[in-house]
Structure 1
Amino acid sequence: MNAEREFQGSYWLESAPPGAAAPPPAGDLAVDVAVVGGGIAGLSTAWELVRQGREVAVLEAGRLAAGVTGHTTAKLTALHTLVYDRLRRTRGPEGARLYARSQSAAIRHAADVVQELDIDCEWEEAAAFTYAENPRRVGELRAEAEAAREAGLPAEFVTETELPFPVAGAVRVTGQAQFHPRKYLLALADDLRRRGGSVYEDTRVVGLTEGEPCVLSTDAGVSVRAGEVVIATHYPVFDRALLFTRLSPRRELVVAGTIDEERAPRDMYITPEQATRSVRTAPLGDGERLLIVTGEHFTPGTADVEERFARLTAWADTRFPKVTFTHRWATQDNDSTDSVPLVGPLHPGSRHTYVATGFGGWGLSGGIMAGRLLCDLVSRREVEWSGLYDPRRLASVVREGGTFLKHQGQVARHFVGDRILPLTGPEPENIPPGYGAVVRRGGAQWAVHRDEKGRLQAVSARCTHLGCIVAFNHAEQAWECPCHGSRFAPDGRILQGPAVRPLKKRDL
């Protein structure tokens, strides 16, 4: 990437200030429902429950809508790249129909919420496209268009788009939407409070005791007693359901910049080619829009992120010349082994605990869908697609055994291999400013970072989740776990779960 360019972080965070903070609870709490996580899934669930008259508390480890949701591409669509042809093979035609119906219902519901609450969130209706430039992939696209149409979406195969470069073919679905996700969620949180709900930021949940009631504990020693608990932390922070065996973390990069309105695509585009390329624009005013390009997906802790940013920016420069790139950030999501999110009871023995995870890069429609589904499940109401998303499902895991085994093999390679290779590492004095490296000290592995002023700091290299060895992401100045996606600041502070404990300090 051009070193002369200066980039800001997430546009969604920059353009929607959070307002007044919601302090952590001053003491122990007792509520009907505790929702852990203040992103799209958590806030949607809490808002739906408050509307049903439940006493709800949202517990967020950082700031509301500032985690994964604050770094999304912000497409609200039921066309999820090439999912429908796969679903009709793995879950049958009815499974594909339920998926399309539930995701489409989420989009319509979001539109109703925007209108009901009069939310100024730059809502725009748009078509969604999955395209390919390589003619060899046209067969896949035709099959996907057919499967999506059979599932109930208004899908068709086309060969023309508004993109400024030719495509071999595309699947088009009309009636989708794009919006400002943080403005939407902050308005939802405000309405939640007006209805009597509670929101607590900087409140990291570190323990869960299931029972009647359930009891959550926080890193500040506060206890929260709740009749029902929803875990909506993106990656579940509790491992009793062993969901980490069915989830693989995926990080993607985003670059964004200003483009003249007359040259700006108005619809939403994605291709599975070149480690994903996603394109959309957002309104800026004064004859300009914000071009948002996403791609270069990779497992956290396994890539040269600066090189990946450079590759993505070069692609965008070539396809959309004369764009001034102003922002760059990264997003993260989790893929389930069978391409369907895990939303429902936390584990087979659950009576009062629920989870929402595994949205596979489509967390906006998925999170809104999860909010409605979890509200119904907590209220003991039947939902026609609850079985499709049930985390306890086994049949689809068996059918997707190859994906499951591949994921577990990758985790095992990191868990074992990163401990023994290399047997020797760099010396701390050889680490340049702004970089980090894992070094060996007395048989242990330390994560050592040198800041821009030349000062060294060291923490344990073992992720506090399940003990995998972290790696340093220079572009984002973070230690990352390649097994389950936990991320830490150079000083060991948690940036992203599932870890709930910081990396332990080491004295150089």
Structure 2
Amino acid sequence: MNKITDQINNGSISSGENVSFWIDSTPPIAYNIPDQNCGAEVLVIGGGIAGLSTAYKLLKAGKKVVVVEDGFIGSGETGRTTAHLTCALDDRYYYLESTFGKEASKLAAESHSKAIDEIEKNVNDLNIDCSFRRVNGYLFLHPSDKPENLEKEYEATRTAGINTSFLKATPAITGGEKTHSIVFHNQAQFHVLHYLKGLADAITNLGGIIYTEARAENITKHGAEVNGFTFSAEHIVVATNSPINDTLTMHTKQAAYRTYVIAGKIPKGLLPYSLWWDTGDADSEWVAEPYHYVRLENFDDQYDLLISGGEDHKTGQEDQENISAAERYERLERWTRSYFPMLEDISYHWSGQIMEPVDGLGFMGKNPGDDNIYIITGDSGNGMTHATIGSMIISDLILGNKNQWEDLYSPSRITLKSTGDFLKEAGNMASQYLDWIKGSDLKNTADLPAGEGGVLSSGLKKIAVYRDYDDTLKAFSAVCPHLGCIVHWNTDEKSFDCPCHGSRFSTDGTVINGPAQTDLNPIQIK
């Protein structure tokens, strides 16, 4: 394999085998690899939008900041997003209103709107060429949902202070003339990795230090160990999508889901630049009801790229619905063509990982039990704005300023009204430990084709095996080092995924997604 393939497989460029449009259209954003001990006022762990947004704000305030990223900039979940910038949230505003109250719902709406403004300000201040534009977003009814829910959501958005209108049609989609929708005015979109490149340049210009291929472990209130070197800091920000400094606390409050994306060309001018979402599958077995989300992105002088996502399932649990990843892409394509028949051949497909909080709001602030360790997680499907809100909250906390959204997004909060969803997700997690006594998906390594993996049983052991394209067999303990679940093989992204808390491991056993901090343990087999 060549170097680029190796970097994809070990997570440096992308946390999965499939490469997103954002990563494909941006040269790798790489910096120095750590070669000595380091000290700073603030250590930011994670080089996605959450980490870089936080670092940039703190550097502007005069703090000494170091950023460490275990791959390249944007190589984690930021590079696998669809980059919607919106205050239209995954969980309906009528749900937030009933769970947290009207004032909290207003704060949530305000925070996401301010996050879009913050991104726009950074784009203008730093003159970032990232195709940022303001667009309308349209929320329309999924066939399984009730029309009164759309009307209820419209009323809740108005109560929350959002600029919305109720339409008797959905612009630009096939059959839209008969499909009611809510239009969210003045939303936005951008090319996320071009934006990150602009932020990274600004960080280094302000004296910040960025390290890539820099893996942080053993995180404490004093700092972290990075590639074997000591990185000390007064404040530590863990901006890694799923916290890697937490054993259990946060992972009872959120669940990891896989989401799928396709992208294909359409002739320019056929569709307006807009965002579209359906309201989600009300009949889904998953707590986070999967929905579809669509947008356009500039491709070249003749074409735009139509980017469509959905078909979610819990990480490591696609077999629960007996729908393979390949079938999910096919279902997503059929759905997309039914509304956007001008879509040409599919140019890209990839999947991403999202952390779904049980009460609908992300977790940004002090890690429970810590005074100087901060986390940004629970982004749901609004990662771009959630991450930006997190950077604003945490910057204020470190600078000693009171933030108006601090309590709403506190990682320490307990939401009693979400107890039912909490118990359902907790029960799902607990049931995954039955994999210890279940039969394995692989009976013999001889049955394993090149480029594929699986889990087999050997006495009381569960072994994760992968056959490389040169016919080399790699084997590891299939026990996730986080909390002992048995990993599952992800044939789409070529990774071993934990069905309990979403940790993911590359084909060489290297951890590429937290919360696990350590690799799968190698095993010698014949």
- Normalising TM by the smaller chain, what interval? over 0.9
Identity over aligned residues, as a percent? 33
- Partners of 1:193 and 1:357 lie apart in 2 by 25
1:190 aligns with 2:201: yes
| Contact 2:439 2:457 (8 Å CA) reproduced | no
Shift in CA distance, 423/202, structure 1 to aligned 2, threshold 3 Å = closer
1:129 aligns with 2:152: no
Equivalent in the alignment of 2:8: none
Measured after TM superposition, the shift of residue 452 of structure 1 is: 3.9
User: Which amino acid counterpart does residue 14 of structure 1 have in structure 2?
Assistant: D
Q: Pick from 201, 215, 236: which aligns with 2:223?
A: 215
Q: Pick from 14, 19, 38: which aligns with 1:9?
A: 19
User: Which amino acid counterpart does residue 297 of structure 2 have in structure 1?
Assistant: A
Where does structure 1 lack aligned partners over 5 or more consecutive residues? 1-6
> Residues 1-400 of structure 1 correspond to what in structure 2 (within 5 A)?
9-19=19-29, 21-134=30-143, 136-167=145-176, 168-210=179-221, 214-218=222-226, 220-239=227-246, 242-274=249-281, 275-303=290-318, 304-321=324-341, 322-347=343-368, 349-394=369-414, 396=415, 398-400=416-418
Measured after TM superposition, the shift of residue 468 of structure 1 is: 0.7
| Contact 1:76 1:176 (8 Å CA) reproduced | yes
Normalising by structure 1, we get a TM-score of 0.94
1:324-362 C-alpha deviation (Å, 9 max, x unpaired)? 211111111101111111011101x32211111001110
Shift in CA distance, 294/221, structure 1 to aligned 2, threshold 3 Å = same
User: Which amino acid counterpart does residue 407 of structure 2 have in structure 1?
Assistant: G
> Residues 477-492 of structure 1 correspond to what in structure 2 (within 5 A)?
477-492=494-509
DSSP-derived class of the 1:258 partner: strand
- Partners of 2:261 and 2:441 lie apart in 1 by 35
- Partners of 1:432 and 1:468 lie apart in 2 by 25
Q: Pick from 429, 446, 452: which aligns with 1:429?
A: 446
Where does structure 2 lack aligned partners over 5 or more consecutive residues? 1-16, 282-289, 319-323
- Partners of 2:505 and 2:20 lie apart in 1 by 18
User: Which amino acid counterpart does residue 186 of structure 2 have in structure 1?
Assistant: G
Q: Structure 1 stretches (4+) deviating beyond 6 angstroms?
A: none
User: Which amino acid counterpart does residue 453 of structure 2 have in structure 1?
Assistant: G
- Partners of 2:63 and 2:72 lie apart in 1 by 23
Equivalent in the alignment of 1:4: none
Shift in CA distance, 280/500, structure 1 to aligned 2, threshold 3 Å = same
Measured after TM superposition, the shift of residue 190 of structure 1 is: 0.6
Measured after TM superposition, the shift of residue 430 of structure 1 is: 1.9
Shift in CA distance, 309/79, structure 1 to aligned 2, threshold 3 Å = same
Measured after TM superposition, the shift of residue 423 of structure 1 is: 6.8
1:370-427 C-alpha deviation (Å, 9 max, x unpaired)? 1111100111101111110011112x1x221111111111110002x11001179511
- Partners of 2:440 and 2:271 lie apart in 1 by 51
Q: Pick from 464, 471, 491: which aligns with 2:481?
A: 464
User: Which amino acid counterpart does residue 264 of structure 2 have in structure 1?
Assistant: G
Shift in CA distance, 255/136, structure 1 to aligned 2, threshold 3 Å = closer
1:52-74 C-alpha deviation (Å, 9 max, x unpaired)? 00000011111111211111001
1:221-268 C-alpha deviation (Å, 9 max, x unpaired)? 111111111111100001257111111001101100110123224210
- Partners of 2:223 and 2:184 lie apart in 1 by 44
> Residues 408-447 of structure 1 correspond to what in structure 2 (within 5 A)?
408-415=426-433, 417-422=434-439, 425-447=442-464
Equivalent in the alignment of 2:284: none
DSSP-derived class of the 1:400 partner: helix
Q: Which 10-residue stretch deviates more, 488-497 or 358-367?
A: 488-497
Normalising by structure 2, we get a TM-score of 0.91
Measured after TM superposition, the shift of residue 14 of structure 1 is: 1.1
1:6-36 C-alpha deviation (Å, 9 max, x unpaired)? x9720001111134x2122221111101011
User: Which amino acid counterpart does residue 190 of structure 2 have in structure 1?
Assistant: F
How many residues were matched structurally?
Answer: 493
Measured after TM superposition, the shift of residue 164 of structure 1 is: 2.7
User: Which amino acid counterpart does residue 514 of structure 2 have in structure 1?
Assistant: G
| Contact 2:355 2:379 (8 Å CA) reproduced | yes
Measured after TM superposition, the shift of residue 136 of structure 1 is: 4.9
| Contact 1:247 1:336 (8 Å CA) reproduced | yes
Q: Pick from 450, 455, 469: which aligns with 2:467?
A: 450
Shift in CA distance, 68/116, structure 1 to aligned 2, threshold 3 Å = same
Shift in CA distance, 228/136, structure 1 to aligned 2, threshold 3 Å = closer
- Partners of 1:456 and 1:88 lie apart in 2 by 53
| Contact 1:133 1:166 (8 Å CA) reproduced | no
User: Which amino acid counterpart does residue 334 of structure 1 have in structure 2?
Assistant: M
> Residues 494-505 of structure 1 correspond to what in structure 2 (within 5 A)?
494-505=511-522
